[in-house]
Amino acid sequence: MNYRHAYHAGNFADVMKHAILALVVASLKRKDTPFFALDTHAGIGAYDLEADEAGKTGEYMGGIARLLEAGTPPEELQAYLAVIRSWNSDGNLRRYPGSPELMRGLMRPQDRMALVELHPKDVEVLRSRFHGDRRVGVHHLDGYLAAKGLLPPAERRGLVLMDPPFEVKDEFQRLLAALRRARKLWPTGIYLVWYPIKGAEPVARFHEALAQDGGPETLAVELMLRPALDPFRLNGSGMLIINPPWQLRDSLAPLMPWLVGVLAPEQGSARSETIVGETP
């Protein structure tokens, strides 16, 4: 377990992932009934952008820093940006909330969240961070196996975020297997699954396997920094959305081109592909 998200926090992939997460949460909040969120690879919850790790790579400068400098973000980004601003209330970008703190910033008193993290030190950071918040459970488990004890939730509505580090060769296969297990337990949940786009081939195989599995509507949304020509670089960021909420496509339509214009104005692009289900 060598992956440390602190080097990458707030980069273009985090921005895309978290902007979509915030949109899905907004749609869940349209009803008063509680929702449940499971974060299978939670990280430490929030990141210090002035620390050595973030400073060394400077990745956030090509991500969240650009968003905050850009003029007039679309309506679809407001909830996400409001949480980012609440973490940097003096107007200087110093901290970036990871998925756990972003979710906490968006949840209501009636909602609930389970955070799963395997790294022994990171899980302790999460525990102390969320200590006393009765809505949040922190679990020291393998995120790929966590579904068994945590799904389906009593609330019967909500989301699962799967955001693995992709540090092992067979991560796409492990992800697929975990997804299949989770979906058996909770077929109606919304699944948000992040994946890196380095070469085009592994992504195409992943999409093919999902298409063969069939099931509910499945959308793949991708933001490319550049064409996927060099398979050793992170050329783009992908998010699978299974059971996308009603109207999510309408929200993504203005959001993704705007993000491309800000994050990858020269060689960037965005696309949205229906992997399973009807193209509207």
Ligand X SMILES: C[S@@+](CC[C@H](N)C(=O)[O-])C[C@H]1O[C@@H](n2cnc3c(N)ncnc32)[C@H](O)[C@@H]1O
Please give the positions annotated as active site.
163
* CB closer to ligand X out of 52 and 167: 167
State the nearest-atom distance from the C-beta of 142 to ligand X, in Å: 4
**Which of 95, 119, 139, 183 is in the footprint of ligand X by CB under 6 A?**
119
Site string for ligand X, 179-218 (x = CB under 6 A): ----------------------------------------
**3-class SS letters over the chain:** CCCCHHHCCCCHHHHHHHHHHHHHHHHHCCCCCCCEEEECCCCCCEEECCCHHHHHHCHHHHCHHHHHHCCCCCHHHHHHHHHHHHCCCCCCCCEEECHHHHHHHHCCCCCEEEEEECCHHHHHHHHHHHCCCCCEEEEECCCCCCHHHHCCCCCCCEEEEECCCCCCCCHHHHHHHHHHHHHHHCCCCEEEEEEEECCHHHHHHHHHHHHHHCCCCEEEEEEECCCCCCCCCCCEEEEEEECCCCCHHHHHHHHHHHHHHHHCCCCCEEEEEEEECCCC
Closest distance to ligand X from the beta carbon of 72 (Å): 26
* 122 lies in the site for ligand X, by CB under 6 A: yes
Site string for ligand X, 133-172 (x = CB under 6 A): ---------xxx------------------x-x-------
Letters for 71-100 (x = contact with ligand X by CB under 6 A, - = none) are: ---------------------------xx-
- Applying CB under 6 A, which residues contact ligand X? 1, 3, 5, 39, 41-43, 98-99, 116-119, 122, 142-144, 163, 165
